[in-house]
Amino acid sequence: MAEGFLPVSKKDLEERGIGQLDFVYVCGDAYVDHSSFGAAIICRLLEAHGFTVGFLAQPNWRKPESVKALGEPRLGFLVSSGNMDSMVNHYSVTKHRRAVDAYSPGGKMGKRPDHAVVVYGNLIRQAYPEAAIIIGGIEASLRRLGHYDYWSDSVKRSVLLDSGADLISYGMGEHSIVEIAEALDAGIPVSDITFIDGTVYKTRVEDDIYDAVRLPDFSRISAANETDDPQIAKKAKRTYAESFKVQYRNTDPVTGQRLYEAYDDGWFVVQNPPAKPLTTQEMDDVYALPYMRDWHPMYDSLGGIPAFSEIRFSLTSNRGCYGECNFCALTFHEGRIVQARSHESIVEEAKGFREDPEFKGYIHDVGGPTAEFRRPACKKQLTLGACKDRHCLYPTVCPNLDTDHTDYLELLRELRSLPGVKKVFVRSGIRYDVVLADYKTHFLKELAEHHISGQLRVAPEHVSDAVLSKIGKPSVNVYNRFVEEFEKVNKQLGKDQYVVPYLISSHPGSRLKDAILLAEYLNKHKLSPKQVQDFYPTPGTVSTCMYYTGYDPLTMNEVYVANDSHEKAMQRALIQYRDPKNHALVREALRKAHRFDLIGYGPECLVPPERGSGNGRSAGSRRTQGANSEARSSGRRTSNTARVQGANSRSSNSRNPNSRSSGPRNSDSRNSGSSRSGKGVKTGSPTHSKKQRRKK
């Protein structure tokens, strides 16, 4: 038995004198008992309320008896895919199988099935037909109603129906999971638990659904699945977008209404309003639970859990985000109302780092979905909810927004003043538009002086205003102004530091001309992105709805979508036009857009002509072109508007990818508390031995 950890085997149960568990948590991740893993939070929270919980990590789905390893629980099974959506975990945007699973022992791929929640749910239902099954986490949360599935290119039913489960605990599930547990413990049948906020249930009796908005029937939003008629398909997709708009407008815990969706087999899937956000005291209590802050010892000989290495010395400060980037699932999952822990809670956790022999004095991050967000966008959000028809940051920062960074700065000062702490990094993303709107503090100067080391990552995403309007980000002029301010501050400090932009290709709304505009911008400012990713259509985002339907669900205007794989390849190649491997695609794109002026040897040209073509836009010689090319590719740092060494990009649920999740929760894209990846967990297999680093 591993002392302090939840039971993971019948031997553990025997040694602890537990005849039957109250709950068994079935998870697609390995067992890491840390507050950055949603499953650990849910289990420890239930334990704090007097329930016994066992953890069944990555059961072998090829063997149905594997879900019986801990026996049938008294109250029910809790199921999640883990901190990541299983399909994002398994496949790249090109649908190629990934080689590494950072949430599995030794990074080994293949420890969980595709659509893990559906597979696990059905295995449990076969093994225990009468058991209560509650699903949650990012995978279930974002598939709670009919949804577009990129991997099959079709609209799928609510995961509640396909998994055979009884309830979904969606969003950040602390409130709902405790209410569910107490209702089951009181003897209420799971089929009668229809009254808890933050849950989804199913019923065959429409008259039992009260105070609710009926969404378009599933048969209407999925009609494009079965037809070759383009008019029928277009109508179905428009209906899907209309349904999504209603769902999006009801994600607020104050104003959100009950929604339901009808299915041809007689089921109605009902989504109750979102759960109320946690108070600061409630968040503090959650993060003070007795986590072991480690992976289970059974993984020591297997290389440990790679995803743990980055979050091990990171601090979750907040959850929720009012940024509302359209490619991000946070609005559907964590919501727009920011919640934060107290300084005392965060500092106390940081003090605990010093007890770990592996702590070298560096706190890797202090943040959440957005690092500096520490309170709701404005005072009225807690009583009136977030605005349904206005955005806090798009197209410009709302005049009612509280942009004061004082609280976050004071927190960072407290942390860096702790004995034994050498440096406190800020690696969660910051909103540069909010930083510019803060006229009360010198946040940017203090950030540059104390909390970055050479590079600051921000997310302009693109430079075309046409594309940015579909992403929900401000004009490129705002980004340019931020970079100028950052350079000015670093000059004052005598530091040589740079902005590294996240960029995304082929986002809905992006045409070849927009991709070319981005390439020209990179050329002008001598930027050479090393990493770029195509837009990844994952469930629960406005951008995914655009991708599938061709409509912006917030305006119902039609949107251009580059869904042809070859055009997407050209758009991606344009961002990395300096790579010789991309030259043929770039030339093809430029010719298709009639931009022959950008093929040649002049400084404004993106690529040279083919060898032997005799074409070239410059009076200069190949020698001149070679010199220009060498200067451009040398990585020489400049003081132009955007000095950058590289760039990364995001997928649509990239925030929250580690998005922590609900009930049995998850975090795949970055979620507060969930595995910290800033939009993807940085991984790397730990090389130290567990024996050395585990505190006895």
Contacts of 312 (CB under 8 A, 6+ apart): 34, 293, 356, 358, 364
Q: Strands 167-169, 199-203: parallel, antiparallel or unpaired by DSSP?
A: antiparallel
- Spatial strand order of the sheet with 455-461 comes to 455-461, 498-505, 533-534
Q: CA of 458: how far to CAs of 142, 394, 562, 648, in Å?
A: 26, 16, 25, 10
Amino acid at 282: E
The number of C-alpha atoms within 13 Å of 613 and in the hemisphere containing its C-beta is 11
Phi, psi (degrees; rounded to nearest 5) at 179: -65, -40
pLDDT in tens, 297-348: 999 999 999 999 989 999 999 999 999 999 999 999 999 999 999 999 999 9
What pTM does this model have? 0.88
Please say if the pLDDT value at position 684 is more than 60.
Answer: no
Residue 2 has a pLDDT of: 82
* Residue entry with tokens 């001309």: 513
Q: Quote the distance between the C-alpha of residue 635 and its chain's center.
A: 31
Q: What is the DSSP string of 144-175?
A: SSSEEETTTTEEE--HHHHHT-SEEE-SS-HH
CATH number at residue 539: 3.30.750.200
Phi, psi (degrees; rounded to nearest 5) at 12: -60, -40
Nearest of 73, 164, 171 to residue 115 by alpha carbon: 164
Residue 86 has a pLDDT of: 98
* Residue entry with tokens 């079709």: 154
What mean pLDDT, rounded, does the chain reach? 89
- Determine the Cα–Cα distance for residues 122 and 133; give it in Å rounded to an integer: 10
Q: 3-state secondary structure string, 491-533?
A: HHHCCCCEEEEEEEECCCCCCHHHHHHHHHHHHHCCCCCCCCE
Domain termination site, one of 218, 245, 275: 275
Three-state DSSP at 211 gives coil
Please say if the pLDDT value at position 632 is more than 60.
Answer: no
Structure tokens, 260: 């339901």
Domain of 217 in residue numbering reads as 10-275
Indicate the DSSP class of residue 62: T
Q: Quote the distance between the C-alpha of residue 127 and its chain's center.
A: 33
State the alpha helices, DSSP H only, in 228-312. Answer: 230-248, 280-287, 308-311
Q: CA of 380: how far to CAs of 55, 144, 171, 252, in Å?
A: 41, 29, 22, 13
Residue 340 has a pLDDT of: 98
Residue 150 has a pLDDT of: 98
pLDDT in tens, 341-396: 999 999 999 999 999 999 999 999 999 999 999 999 998 998 999 998 899 999 99
Q: Among the listed ranges 226-230, 508-512, 643-647, which one has the minimum average pLDDT value?
A: 643-647
Residue 532 has a pLDDT of: 84
Answer whether 449's CB lies under 8 Å from 442's CB: no
E-state strands within 309-464: 314-316, 318-319, 339-340, 362-363, 365-367, 423-424, 455-461
Residue 23 has a pLDDT of: 98
pLDDT in tens, 209-260: 999 999 999 999 999 999 999 999 999 999 999 999 999 999 999 999 999 9
* Residue entry with tokens 């939009």: 679
Q: Quote the distance between the C-alpha of residue 66 and its chain's center.
A: 30
Nearest of 287, 308, 302 to residue 83 by alpha carbon: 308
Query: Does any domain span residue 130?
Result: yes
Domain termination site, one of 242, 275, 308: 275
Query: Does any domain span residue 460?
Result: yes
Residue 389 has a pLDDT of: 87
Query: Does any domain span residue 542?
Result: yes
Q: Which of 509-513, 526-530, 617-621 has the highest mean pLDDT?
A: 509-513
CATH number at residue 217: 3.40.50.280
Mean pLDDT value across residues 603-629:
62
- Determine the Cα–Cα distance for residues 525 and 522; give it in Å rounded to an integer: 5
Query: Does any domain span residue 367?
Result: no
Phi, psi (degrees; rounded to nearest 5) at 202: -125, 150
Amino acid at 598: L
Residue 461's beta-bridge partner residues? 503
- Determine the Cα–Cα distance for residues 118 and 527; give it in Å rounded to an integer: 44
Structure tokens, 2: 């591993």
Residue 261 has a pLDDT of: 98
CB count, 10 Å around CB of 122? 18
**How many structural domains compose the chain?**
2
Q: Strands 76-80, 133-136: parallel, antiparallel or unpaired by DSSP?
A: parallel
Q: What is the largest CA-CA distance in the chain?
A: 86
Residue 270's beta-bridge partner residues? 201, 260
Structure tokens, 587: 């030339």
Structure tokens, 676: 């910290």
Query: Does any domain span residue 670?
Result: no
Phi, psi (degrees; rounded to nearest 5) at 240: -60, -45
- Determine the Cα–Cα distance for residues 683 and 688; give it in Å rounded to an integer: 15
Query: Does any domain span residue 316?
Result: no
Name the strand (E) or helix (H) holding 437. helix 432-437
Domain termination site, one of 275, 308, 325: 275
* Residue entry with tokens 């034994």: 420
Residue 630 has a pLDDT of: 36
Query: Does any domain span residue 645?
Result: yes
Three-state DSSP at 56 gives strand
∠ CA 567-573-578 to the nearest 5 degrees? Answer: 155
- Determine the Cα–Cα distance for residues 32 and 658; give it in Å rounded to an integer: 14
Please say if the pLDDT value at position 525 is more than 50.
Answer: yes
